[in-house]
């Protein structure tokens, strides 16, 4: 039996709505969305490193965008920011790459090659999503109904030679992360509240 996440069922009921690629909970006080314009790979890595500084405890972060938009690059920056010093590879063929520390486990999912969302249940994906886990999920729509909703939804769009990123808080935890992120110094044009 798969998880039955209410926000999936109530998608168009008024409690939850889709805006662009983000799921925003209307009942959450003061939903928050921040936009960043990133010019190159180094800025994407730096945003990931900065995002790591606001990731305490478990959370689910969706990474959405077409192929080659920088989802894995942002994940690599986040892992580097958490202190990982090994090679960060895309989990395209393995579905999930684990990075484990004593105080936090990070699981980087890439669901692009998932044939059937039920495969997530067969591989025990439910066990990865816990209060002690930070789960980064690329192509989350391919696991719809089988993975929990995002605390933070990050959408990547092409903007000239760079990227426009939209970070949307989907839960109170996501909102706290974005508020903390706004207080961090960034070496590029910082985010605008949308």
- Decide if 182 contacts 34 (C-beta within 8 A): yes
Average pLDDT, the chain: 81
| pLDDT for residue 115 is more than 90 | no
State residue 13's pLDDT score. 26
Angle at 40 between CA 70 and CA 32, to 5 degrees: 65
- Decide if 107 contacts 133 (C-beta within 8 A): yes
Task: Select the more confidently predicted residue: 191 or 168.
Answer: 168
Task: Select the more confidently predicted residue: 55 or 20.
Answer: 55
- Position 193 confidence tier, pLDDT thresholds 50, 70, 90: low
Q: Would you say residue 49 lies in a domain?
A: yes
Q: Would you say residue 22 lies in a domain?
A: no
State residue 121's pLDDT score. 83
According to DSSP, the β-strands at 152-159 and 192-193 are: unpaired
Mean pLDDT for the stretch of residues 26-48: 82
Residue span of the structural domain in which 80 resides: 38-187
Q: Would you say residue 147 lies in a domain?
A: yes
Q: Would you say residue 1 lies in a domain?
A: no
The candidate with the shortest Cα–Cα distance to 150, out of 31, 49, 1, 2, is 31
DSSP E strands: which ranges in the chain?
Answer: 16-19, 22-25, 33-38, 59-64, 96-100, 105-110, 133-138, 152-159, 162-169, 192-193
Please enumerate in sequence order all residues whose Cβ is within 8 A of that of 85, keeping only pairs 6 or more positions apart, or say none.
none
162 vs 79: CA distance, rounded Å: 22
42 vs 150: CA distance, rounded Å: 25
Q: Would you say residue 23 lies in a domain?
A: no
Domain count, the chain: 1
CATH of the domain at 148: 3.40.50.300
| pLDDT for residue 125 is more than 90 | no
Q: Would you say residue 11 lies in a domain?
A: no
The candidate with the shortest Cα–Cα distance to 143, out of 106, 177, 109, 100, is 109
Q: Would you say residue 66 lies in a domain?
A: yes
Name the pTM for this structure. Answer: 0.81
Q: Would you say residue 81 lies in a domain?
A: yes
Q: Number of helices (H) and strands (E), helices first, in the chain?
A: 5, 10
- Position 153 confidence tier, pLDDT thresholds 50, 70, 90: very high
Q: What is the phi/psi pair of residue 162, to 5°?
A: -110, -155
């Amino acid at each position: 039996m798969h998880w039955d996440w209410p926000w999936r069922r109530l998608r168009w009921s008024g409690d939850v709505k889709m805006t662009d690629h983000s799921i925003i909970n209307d009942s959450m006080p003061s939903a928050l969305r921040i936009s960043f314009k990133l010019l190159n790979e180094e800025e994407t890595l730096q945003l990931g490193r900065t995002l790591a500084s606001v990731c305490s405890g478990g959370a689910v972060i969706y990474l959405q965008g077409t192929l080659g938009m920088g989802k894995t690059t942002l994940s690599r920056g986040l892992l580097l920011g958490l202190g990982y010093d090994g090679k960060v590879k895309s989990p395209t063929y393995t579905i999930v790459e684990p990075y484990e520390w004593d105080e936090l486990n990070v699981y980087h999912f890439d669901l692009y090659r998932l044939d059937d969302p039920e495969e997530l249940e067969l591989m025990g994906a439910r066990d990865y999503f816990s209060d002690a886990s930070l789960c980064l999920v690329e192509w989350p729509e391919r696991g719809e109904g089988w993975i929990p909703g995002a605390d933070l939804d990050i959408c990547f769009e092409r903007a000239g030679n760079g990227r426009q990123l939209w970070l949307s808080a989907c839960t109170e935890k996501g909102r706290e992360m974005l508020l903390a992120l706004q207080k961090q110094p960034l070496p590029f044009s910082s985010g605008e509240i949308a």
